[in-house]
Amino acid sequence: MNIKIQSKSGIPIYEQIEKQLKEEIIEGRLKTGELLPSIRSLAAELKISVITTKRAYEDLEKEGMVYSVPGKGFYVDNPDLQYLNEKRTLGIEEKIKQIIDEAKKMGISKEELRDMIDIFWEE
Domain count, the chain: 2
Helix (H, G, I), strand (E, B) or coil at 66: strand
Q: Is residue 3 part of a domain?
A: no
Q: What is the pLDDT of residues 56-96, one digit of tens each?
A: 999 999 988 999 999 999 999 987 777 777 888 898 999 99
Q: Do 87 and 72 have their domain in common?
A: no
Q: Residue 43 contacts by C-beta under 8 Å, 6 or more apart in sequence?
A: 49, 50, 52, 53
Same domain, yes or no: 31 and 49: yes
Q: pLDDT for 1-23, tens place per residue? A: 789 999 899 999 999 999 999 98
Q: Where are the alpha helices (DSSP H) in the chain?
A: 13-26, 39-46, 50-62, 81-106, 110-121
pLDDT of 123 above 90? no
